[in-house]
């Protein structure tokens, strides 16, 4: 695993545990010599994960749309910043660059990126692992909802298992490295 795309909030959230997890993730990626691919911002959890990776000698690739290329948002200390046309191009480039994905706590943008990559996996368009870092139970309601969709017949059990989950950075990374995609990608009977 050479690169991991990290989706996370452009805000730090209300709990200090979120920022601590972002810092721990950036540090671990750098120490494991795994490049960080992320949204290119200097704010919120995005900035924290990037700063931690850079501080510990990691390589960081930021991908940011032209409209967000603003002085107060963009991370000016990145060794590799790619400015793209729009969010569609950003998501495609991040997915192409990454060998796996991790979502820290975040809002609409994080959810949207998470579900898009997850749907691509369900369709068999990629076989890359995806993990949720469930800090302080942040993703517990979402995981309960995903279980509900499986119980109601909208997600097959093997596709529900595409979402790897841990409350620890140190436990999640090995799960991603050991991930094996389901052999059946067809989702319609």
Read off the pLDDT of residues 43-79 as tens digits, 9 standing for 90 and up: 999 999 999 999 999 999 999 998 877 666 889 899 9
Average pLDDT of the chain to the nearest whole number:
93
Q: Say if CB 61 and CB 99 are below 8 A apart.
A: no
Q: What is d(CA 134, CA 59) in angstroms, rounded to the nearest whole number?
A: 25
Q: Say if CB 8 and CB 94 are below 8 A apart.
A: no
Residues 7-44: tens digit of each pLDDT: 999 999 999 999 999 999 999 999 999 999 999 999 99
User: For the CA atoms of the chain, what is the radius of gyration?
Assistant: 16
* DSSP β-bridge partners for residue 38: 62
Pairing of strands 100-103, 80-84: unpaired
Residues 139-173: tens digit of each pLDDT: 999 999 999 999 999 998 888 989 999 999 999 99
Strands (E), 99-139: 100-103, 130-133
* Residue carrying structure tokens 């949207």: 112
Regarding the domain delimited by 3-177, which CATH topology (the fold level of the hierarchy) does it fall under? Rossmann fold (3.40.50)
Q: What is d(CA 102, CA 169) in angstroms, rounded to the nearest whole number?
A: 10
181: tokens are: 């995609």
Q: Say if CB 117 and CB 127 are below 8 A apart.
A: no
- The pTM (predicted TM-score) of the whole model is 0.93
85 CB neighbour count, 10 Å cutoff: 10
């Amino acid at each position: 695993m050479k690169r991991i795309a990290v989706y996370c909030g452009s805000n730090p959230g209300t709990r200090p545990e979120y920022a601590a997890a972002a810092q721990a993730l950036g540090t671990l990626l750098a120490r494991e010599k795994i490049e960080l691919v992320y949204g290119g911002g200097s704010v919120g959890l995005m900035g924290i994960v990037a700063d931690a990776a850079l501080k510990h000698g990691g390589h960081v690739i930021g991908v940011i749309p032209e409209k967000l290329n603003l002085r107060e948002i963009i991370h000016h200390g990145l060794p590799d910043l790619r400015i793209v046309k729009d969010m569609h191009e950003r998501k495609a480039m991040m997915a192409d660059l990454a060998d796996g994905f991790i979502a820290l706590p975040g809002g609409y943008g994080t959810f949207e990126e998470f579900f898009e990559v997850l749907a691509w996996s369900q369709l068999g368009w990629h076989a890359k692992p995806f993990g949720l870092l469930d800090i302080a139970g942040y993703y517990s309601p979402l995981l309960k909802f995903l279980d509900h969709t499986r119980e109601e017949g909208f997600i097959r059990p093997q596709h529900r298992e595409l979402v790897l989950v841990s409350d620890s950075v140190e436990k999640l990374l090995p799960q991603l490295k050991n991930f094996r995609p389901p052999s059946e990608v067809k989702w319609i009977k």
